[in-house]
Amino acid sequence: MNEKGFGLKEFIIVIAVIFVSMLIIMSLFRSMPSNTDTNPQSNQEEEREKVTYKDLEQELKLAAERYQNDNYSGSIENPEVWTLSYSMLKENGYLDEIKDIKNKDTECTGYVEFVQDGGVITYTPYLKCGSNYETEGYDAKNKIPK
């Protein structure tokens, strides 16, 4: 009988060699340093770029919610606009310093307006970060001075 080609035994050996080769290649890739490990500066820049001004506004809003929950119990009879300044929230420990994401030397300013109408409280944050960002509707006269 003329046997041309591989038999089952040879086929299994070829598959085993391929499998072992793949394991070696995968272990080599795992041991290689990644790009972010070799350049921590670029990693910090990427992380900073992920934060948006909307994220900073949300941080301001959450601080105002915590302040309101800690200091105002019950409901306010007449719905009116209340204003909490960034500086007051920061001084009372509800908020860390917010820096401009485009210029870390510039501290942002702002305030949060909230209205309680019955059981519903609506918070609206306003933020100004130097000349780089200003929330639409921001009123510089409305913020409470330090």
Domain ranges of the chain: 8-45, 52-134
pLDDT recorded at residue 143: 53
CA 101 to chain centre: 12
pLDDT recorded at residue 63: 92
pLDDT recorded at residue 8: 87
Nearest to 114 by CA among 68, 52, 55, 59: 68
Asked whether 106 and 131 are in contact (CB, 8 A), the reply is: no
3-state helix, strand, coil in the chain (%, to 5): 45, 20, 35
Exposed, middle or buried: residue 60 (CB in 10 Å: 0-12, 13-18, 19+)?
buried
Provide the β-strand partners of residue 116.
Answer: 121
pLDDT tens, residue order, the chain (146 aa): 556 777 888 889 999 999 999 999 988 888 777 655 555 555 555 555 588 889 999 999 999 989 888 887 666 666 677 888 999 999 999 999 999 888 888 999 999 998 877 778 888 999 999 898 999 888 876 654 43
Query: Would you mind telling me the total number of residues written for the chain in this entry?
Result: 146
